[in-house]
Amino acid sequence: MSLLELHSKVPKKQKKRRGRGDSAGQGSYSGHGIKGQTARSGGRRRPGFEGGQTPYLRRIPKLKGFKNPNHFEYQVVNIGQLNIFDENTEITKELLLGKNLISKKNNPVKLLGGKGELTKKLTIVVDRASKSALAAVEGKKGKVVLHSPTIKTKK
């Protein structure tokens, strides 16, 4: 089989040949009607024109500020939630995801020390941690490994 033998499964839609006589099917006024704005050359209304009423884009409020492309949506894990793991466990994103403590694998994780109390020695791998969380983990002779989150920008 060669490239010349390949054909499209869906036949191409034929373009309407307008203004080529009445017997061609689109003759006479060529689909423009008789008189009026749309019968004239260049007589189409601009996009967004709504017949004179205030258009939608002018009715909606103006948006303030801008969206920071480098903004991170951190997933929060409190120190008291980590007591479900066994002693001397290395806690990673995959383990947190498996225990439903976080919902997205790609978003960075921040460890907070405000709610609950840690009762076990753990090694925790997260992207960010608060000072109180670091103090709580180090108080139990545990360790926190910090990774800086990677920036995924669309260019």
63 vs 89, more confident: 89
Give the mean pLDDT of 45-60. 92
pLDDT value at position 149?
A: 65
Global pTM value: 0.55
Residue 97 phi/psi, 5° resolution? -65, -40
Give the mean pLDDT of 3-8. 88
71 — pLDDT class (breaks 50, 70, 90): confident
Identify residue 66 by its one-letter amino acid code: F
CATH topology (fold) of 75-146: Ribosomal Protein L15; Chain: K; domain 2 (3.100.10)
Q: Enumerate residues 6+ apart whose C-beta is below 8 A from 18.
A: 26, 27, 30, 31
Q: At 57, list the tokens.
A: 């884009």
pLDDT value at position 151?
A: 54
pLDDT value at position 70?
A: 80
Give the mean pLDDT of 95-116. 91
Nearest to 102 by CA among 78, 69, 71, 134: 78
Q: Is the pLDDT of residue 142 over 50?
A: yes
Q: Give tens-digit pLDDT for 11-39.
A: 888 899 999 999 988 999 999 999 999 99
Residue 29's SS3 state is: coil
pLDDT value at position 8?
A: 82
